[in-house]
Amino acid sequence: MIGRIAGRIVYHGEDHVLIDTNGVGYVVHCSDRVRAGLPGPGEATALYTDLLVREDLLQLFGFPTLVEKEWFRLLMSVQGVGAKAALAILGALGPDGVSRALALGDWSAIKAARGIGPKTAQRVVMELKDKAPMVMAMGVTAPSGGEVIEPTAPGTAPKVSQPAAPARSNAQAEALSALGNLGYAPSDAAGAVAEAAGAAPEAETADLIRAALRLLAPRQ
């Protein structure tokens, strides 16, 4: 199993990038959103990967975080959702958007992804809603693609390149973990955090916790 690729980008394709690792080129399929966030040809990058094995085909799919990779695997576990559909959903919503849609039971958000019909979207929500809290909680400790060690001339120290920091910490995952520690059921906590995050997308962890607690209060 190839779980991670680190190297230099050779080129961007329509639905993939070619990454050179010590002279070996790997074709890594990515969503449009992920590919748009990668550096240009000649630059170093690192992606977590999932290897899809079929009788006549081997395909690598790349993700900047382990959380997004886990969502990809879970989406493909739904009947009728293959790699292309799972990548389309993640490309349209991102991992946080998928978490929010499932926690709120919002199948219309899933349907917004290219090639996803209403029946498939409803099936995704039905089968994965209870798993949303588990994957959301991964965001508290899950690392990103990690550092990339760039080769240099002989006799010189290698250059270590850090991945770009996320725009903000995973406040939703941290709030979900806090509510779990307070004794709230995972499904209730996930729904409240998703609703609070939808109302205030830029809210920090403490603000999300307070807003989620207000939403949960009538349920006690």
Please, are residues 83 and 59 in contact by the beta-carbon 8 Å criterion?
yes
Mean pLDDT over each residue of the chain, to the nearest integer? 83
pLDDT in tens, 13-36: 999 999 999 999 999 999 999 999
Distances (CA, A) of 135 to 12, 40, 102, 142, 201: 29, 30, 11, 10, 19
| 67-83 pLDDT, tens digit each | 899 999 999 999 999 99
Averaged over 86-113, what is the pLDDT?
90
> 159-167 — which CB contacts under 8 Å span 24+ positions?
161/44, 163/45, 163/46, 163/64, 164/37
- pLDDT value of position 174: 84
Burial of 3 (0-12, 13-18, 19+ CB in 10 A): exposed
Looking at domain 167-216, which CATH architecture does it have? Answer: Orthogonal Bundle (1.10)
Q: Is the pLDDT of residue 185 over 90?
A: no
Confidence at 124, pLDDT banded by 50, 70, 90? very high
The pLDDT assigned to 148 comes to: 55
The structure tokens listed for 113 are 């992804």
CATH classification for the domain delimited by 4-63, as one of 1.10.3680.10, 3.10.300.10, 2.40.50.140, 3.40.50.1360:
2.40.50.140
| pLDDT: which is higher, 171 or 144 | 171
Q: Is 153 helix (H, G, I), strand (E, B) or coil?
A: coil
pLDDT tier, 88 (very low <50, low <70, confident <90, very high otherwise): very high
Check if the beta carbon of residue 30 is closer than 8 Å to that of residue 60: no
The domain 66-140 is classified under which CATH number: 2.40.50.140, 1.10.3720.10, 1.10.150.20, 3.30.505.50? 1.10.150.20
- Are residues 65 and 140 in contact, defined by beta-carbon separation less than 8 angstroms? no
Rounded to two decimals, what is the model's pTM?
0.73
160 - beta bridge partners? 149
Contact between 70 and 135 under an 8 Å Cβ cutoff? The reply is: yes
Q: What is the pLDDT of residues 150-175, one digit of tens each?
A: 544 444 444 544 444 443 447 888 88
pLDDT at residue number 142: 53
Supply the pLDDT for residue 147: 52
> What is the model's pLDDT at position 113?
93
For 21, the enclosing helix (H) or strand (E) is strand 16-21
Map out the domains of the chain as residue ranges: 4-63, 66-140, 167-216
Residues 26, 1: Cα–Cα separation, whole Å: 14
Return d(Cα 127, Cα 133) in angstroms, integer.
Answer: 13
Percent of the chain scored above 70 by pLDDT?
A: 84
pLDDT for 6 equals: 95
